[in-house]
Amino acid sequence: MFDRAKIIDTSFRNFLSEKTPFNDFSDAFGYDPLIIIDIFESQLISRLMDIKARKLRSQGKSFYTIGSSGHEGMAVVGEISRLTDMAFLHYRDAAFQVQRSKKHHGHTPLHDLLLSFCASSDDPISGGRHKVLGHKELFIPPQTSTIASHLPKAIGAALSINKNKKLGLKGNLPEDAVILCTFGDASLNHASAQTALNCADWISYQNLPLPLVFICEDNGIGISVRTPSDWVKNSRMNSPAIKYFECDGLDVIESLKVVNEVFEYSRQSRRPSFLRMKTVRLMGHAGSDIENVYRSHKEIEISELEDPLLKTTKTLIGNQILSHEEILNLYLDLEKRIDRIANEVILKARLTCPEAIVSSVVPIKEIRSLPPIPSEESRKKIFGNEWDQMKVGQPLAKMINWGLNDILLQYRDSVIFGEDVARKGGVYNITANLESRFGKNKVFNSLLDETSILGTAIGLAHNGLLPIPEIQFLAYFHNAEDQLRGEAATLSYFSNGQYTNGMVIRIAGLGYQKGFGGHFHNDNSLTIFRDIPGIIVACPSNGRDAVLMMRTCVEEAYRYGRICVFIEPIALYPIRDLNVPGDGLWNTEYPRDLKEKIPLGTFHIEAGDKELCLLTYGNGYYLSRQAREILSSKGIVPTVIDLRWLAPLDEKSLSDSLSQYTNILIVDECRKTGSLSEGLITLMMENCSPLPKIKRICSLDTFIPLADAANLVLVQAQDIVDASLSLLGRKL
């Protein structure tokens, strides 16, 4: 009763060997019998692979048993879609991958999938890091057991096709490609799915090209929670701009007809479609799922009677395409092949050293060389009368704007987008004039949804574009953090470096904004970025550094597919003066030499005495420079180090440098708990010899209040002075 895989397998064999009579089958008239047989073979392979995975799991040789049984109808989609229709897949779509693999000569799906099941380092997609569906040559980026987080990036991939065309670029996908995104009925309810579908509606409603096919594989249950009858249909059929289709995914003939209509519609109209494909879940959610805890024995048996293999078998036999005996022989032959391959695969190497595991966390393979530097004439034409203004020092906001102008000019593939970034120029006018200078295809507004913004960036990068999305405020990023943590940052890792989605995410953040309060506009925590492996986190404190660091980030994203988070201290955007009004000491001159950059990990040292070092970044560097002026009047001239790069830190160079100082005060503008200062103290404890005397000063563990009350919880210049004197044992 409990080994449903064995029961389903036995029932199928008995049906064939006993030549069970039936009269319910679909008429296959008008369809090529060879295509139906070919699809059926993929369905059989998918089922037998599920059964084999469970057997291997019981022997401790396989490690993942979320299968595709009941969803074998997806083999039809693998047949109808083109090889170059990039597919972001549901984790139950093995039949799709098997069928698509037949479009690529020499592909070995049985071998490859078994390598993935057994976590072999020879697995061609993840290198043994996880069981994933995916293959570079099949245009299937890897997905693990994600729920709906892959839907937003499908939007970006679909959008990228027309973007490349308008920009005169040759992307990774042909101009007539369609993007495919599949998911389950339970996943439909996830926020990521809803935001993606809304975004697709929003784009298509404006008659913008979006060739995208959503397929909801509706098996009526999410682990143990039932989906209300017709919920998928009734929640999606009245979409304002996404055409709705549905089919019985258990019926291969009906599926061939409807799936073909769906792809023809989206390919020809360049508009999105939504297909509800009826499926059934067999063998529970996964091998560890005890299904009879939440489903009655009768319910389980009713589901098993809808086995798509039985339905396709009846169609083949009823239309006299194959006999009972021929199908049984095919099933047994495939089983023998899978057993034979599995016996070879279980002997293959697995990951055995940490270096191999982490080798693809950071993309290191150059995916393209840098574009040529624009001529001075072309730059003058873009900047207009601002070209001569570059000789005069400017604040951070203007410098970033100029830096983005140069980037958009040099990198034809680059695009800037986000809320209000186009005509308005962003909340803080940072992207002013970019749309008018470079056009709506390179600089465009998004809808007000951070998940869609970051998902779009991932998808655009999949098709060769260089996205530079803007998040208006640091606190807004939390609405979408899984798009960075679970999708963008993991792509290189789970594809063994074969796929990357390089981007530079600009985020206005940190505290000290006058007139603003609350955690939405003054978020002084960077903790969320600090534990995401492989990403670059930049935080410039002044205009010149911002330009040079942005150039480095763009280069890393473009050449290697790195994920860069560029934190722009909002409060420093307009700042011109340092110590007294009118001194202009925080203005900087624009670095017009485009070859000039600040390499990753390079920190700035404002030299002073060895007795005291102020170690800081962002607003903290600005405040520390003010504190240094005050301390100088007391005969103390501290060295001030601006980290600039918060990840990765150049730990060796930094610890070697810090070992020179007797006392170190870490000035961290972020909240004390979870702040960068914790990591810096650990770094010094582990690496500095001799170990300096260390103290840190941080903002309080609280959200930031409005107006002058903010100064009571944020680090101030006088606080740095007082902490420095205390550390040195001097009178306050």
- Regions of the chain with pLDDT less than 50: none
Residue 634, SS3 per DSSP: coil
| The pLDDT of residue 515 | 66
| The pLDDT of residue 381 | 96
Please spell the DSSP secondary structure of 677-731, one letter per residue. Answer: HHHHHHHHHHH-SSPPEEEEEEE-SS---SGGGGGGTS--HHHHHHHHHHHHT--
Is residue 538 within 8 A of residue 645, CB to CB? The reply is: yes
Q: How far apart are the first and last CA of the chain?
A: 79
| The pLDDT of residue 717 | 97
Domains of the chain: 4-349 (3.40.50.970), 376-572 (3.40.50.970), 604-728 (3.40.50.920)
| The pLDDT of residue 521 | 83
Pairing assessment for the beta strands 604-606 and 638-642 based on DSSP bridges: antiparallel
Distance from C-alpha of 48 to C-alpha of 51, rounded to nearest angstrom = 5
Per-residue pLDDT of 255-287, as tens digits, reads 999 999 999 999 999 999 999 999 999 998 887
| The pLDDT of residue 65 | 83
**Alpha helix segments (H runs only) across 61-172:** 74-80, 94-101, 109-117, 151-167
Is residue 717 within 8 A of residue 652, CB to CB? The reply is: no
Distance from C-alpha of 49 to C-alpha of 55, rounded to nearest angstrom = 10
Q: How many CB atoms lie within 10 A of CB 431?
A: 27
Nearest in space to 132 (alpha carbons), one of 102, 111, 112: 112
Is residue 401 within 8 A of residue 455, CB to CB? The reply is: no
DSSP 42: H
| The pLDDT of residue 314 | 97
pTM of the model: 0.96
The helix-helix angle for 676-687 and 651-658 (nearest 10°) equals: 70
